[in-house]
Amino acid sequence: MSRNNDRRESRFFTGDEQELSQIKSKENLQKFARKKRKRKNLKRFAFFMIFAVIVAIFVIICLAVFFRIEEIEVVGSSRYTKEEILELCGIEEGLSLYEVSDEDLEILTQKLAYIKDARVVRKLPHTLLISVTEDSPSYMCELYGEYFVLSDALRVLDRVYDRAELDGSGLIEILLPEIDSVVVGGDVEFAAEVSEKYVTAYLDALESSHMYSRTTAFDLRDRFNLALISDGIYLIDFGNGDELGTKLTAVASMLDNAVFADKIPATIDATDPTQCPVIKNPELVIAFDD
């Protein structure tokens, strides 16, 4: 076979036998060099992997042995005690700082409704800090004969059976369209997706306006017939939600006018923000239509 190869090569090679021999020797030398280089690279890689594993094991042992929790701090929680939080998530002194992660705190958002987020912060060498973010109550609504406290993102924070418990809380009462479910710790689930979209958009508009701090109640049951009660004595009809931000701004400017200093109950038609006619009536009962 070797002779046949030599014959085939000689058919295309015009130099003498000595030149052909030198070329073959050079090719063999290059092949040998490539194999040697490959073996060397494999050895380097194997050495690197072994070294990396040894370092990883050393680091893990150091973290487990030397960075034990000696102090636990909880910040950001005003409604729950440190003891409640630690008991629920099962974190205690003596654990390694690196045994505890954010996943261990997920139960807090599931069991303690006002907590919307919790994070682990390690303060070497021996302190674990649990940073808690709580939701603030913004709204209340009546659903299925019960009263629910809601965040600005319509997350359900609490449930009470007696409305009197919420008197003086400063929460804005909102009337909502049809609801599928409402569970403490979860979000309000609307029967129709479009309802969630327009309710969220209109509440965002309210929160961005000067009317937010003066709002007593907001009727969102019908997006084409929005109504709001301000200061407990002004019933405002917005009609549909078109240009709601503009309508809210117009009404807020009106209520700052001296004409409303007498605090007489009134209805305000804000369906056209350029007009906004007002009807005052001391005997007026301020309430939404059923």
What are the strands of the beta sheet with 115-123, ordered from one edge?
Answer: 71-75, 127-134, 115-123
**Amino acid 19: pLDDT:** 58
**What CATH number is given to the structural domain containing 158?**
3.40.50
Give yes or no: residues 81 and 48 share one domain.
Answer: no
Q: Is residue 26 included in any domain, yes or no? A: yes
Q: Is residue 182 included in any domain, yes or no? A: yes
**What CATH number is given to the structural domain containing 106?**
3.10.20.310
Q: Is residue 89 included in any domain, yes or no? A: yes
Give yes or no: residues 276 and 171 share one domain.
Answer: yes
Please state whether the peptide bond connecting residue 125 to the residue before it is cis, i.e. omega within 30 degrees of 0: yes
Q: Which of 284, 135, 139 minimizes the C-alpha distance to 218?
A: 139
**Amino acid 218: pLDDT:** 98
Contact (Cβ atoms closer than 8 angstroms) between residue 125 and residue 99: no
DSSP string of the chain, one letter each residue: -HHHHHHHHHHH--S-HHHHHHHHHHHHHHHHHHHHHHHHHHHHHHHHHHHHHHHHHHHHHHHHHH-B--EEEEES-SSS-HHHHHHHHT--TTSBGGG--GGGGHHHHHHSTTEEEEEEEEETTTEEEEEEEEPPEEEEEEETTEEEEEETT-BEEEEES-GGGGTTS-PEEEE-S-EEE--TTSB-EESSHHHHHHHHHHHHHHHTSTTGGGEEEEE-S-TTSEEEEETTTEEEEEESSTTHHHHHHHHHHHHTSGGGTT---EEEE-SSTTT--EEE-TT-------
Structurally, the chain folds into a number of domains equal to 3
- Can you give the pLDDT of all 290 residues of the chain as single tens digits? 545 545 544 454 455 565 556 555 666 656 656 666 777 777 777 777 776 776 666 555 555 556 788 999 999 999 999 999 999 999 988 888 888 899 999 999 989 999 999 999 999 888 999 999 999 999 999 988 899 999 999 999 999 999 999 999 999 999 999 999 999 999 999 999 999 999 999 999 999 999 999 999 999 999 999 999 999 999 999 999 999 999 999 999 999 999 999 999 999 999 999 999 999 999 999 999 88
Give yes or no: residues 116 and 167 share one domain.
Answer: no
pTM: 0.74
**Amino acid 13: pLDDT:** 47
Which tokens sit at 253?
Answer: 């400017």
Q: Which amino acid is at 78?
A: S
**Amino acid 88: pLDDT:** 93
Give yes or no: residues 33 and 151 share one domain.
Answer: no
Q: Is residue 287 included in any domain, yes or no? A: no
Containing domain of residue 87, as a range? 71-134
What is the number of other CB atoms lying within 10 angstroms of the CB of residue 74?
19
Give yes or no: residues 160 and 235 share one domain.
Answer: yes
**Amino acid 37: pLDDT:** 72
